[in-house]
Amino acid sequence: MKISLIILTMLFSISVNANQRFIDFAVSQAHSKNFRNCDSAIRKVFEHAGGSDIRVNVSQFPNFKDSLTMTSTWGSKGDSVYVNATFVKKGNSCFYNSNAVATFNKSCVAQSQDDSFFKYVTEVGDYVWMQNKGGLNSYLKPLGGSCIVTYEGNGVTKF
């Protein structure tokens, strides 16, 4: 599994072999907080989870049981992804927002050229804002000779 392949599959729904056990584990973590009916949204966010290990932390506001935040890392040493996703149930829908973070061992200039689906928007402070035609945003931040990239996506599923 390579970070760039995971990010591309997250963005463009390219088929990749995920670890079904990891996906099931993420759903079970939500169920452990009695958060149900958003299984398809959780499966969508975690559909590319792979590598050698996964960790999922689940949190909720005590008096607001219709939302859940999942913070997760998965992958292998040198090839891992951090994801933070929030799920909100409203009516018969589950809305979600997800941020995936990956570090690439190249400059942000080189990374922006490799992410050719994204176009430059602006720069704010240390960040370069990019966006693809579908409205998905990415934020690039240089760190030494590497580039930290945050991808932001959202969606809705029915239950």
Reading phi first (left if > 0) and then psi (alpha if -120 to 50, else beta), residue 37 is in left
Residue 144: the pLDDT is: 92
pLDDT tens per residue across span 72-126: 999 887 788 999 999 999 999 999 999 999 988 999 999 999 988 999 999 999 9
How many domains are there within the chain?
1
Tell me the residue range of the domain where 113 lies.
3-158
- Distance of alpha carbon 149 from alpha carbon 44, whole angstroms: 20
Contacts of 77 (CB under 8 A, 6+ apart): none
Q: Global pTM?
A: 0.84
Average pLDDT rounded to a whole number, residues 8-20: 56
Average pLDDT rounded to a whole number, residues 57-62: 94
Residue 45: the pLDDT is: 95
pLDDT score of 41 more than 70: yes
Residue 14: the pLDDT is: 37
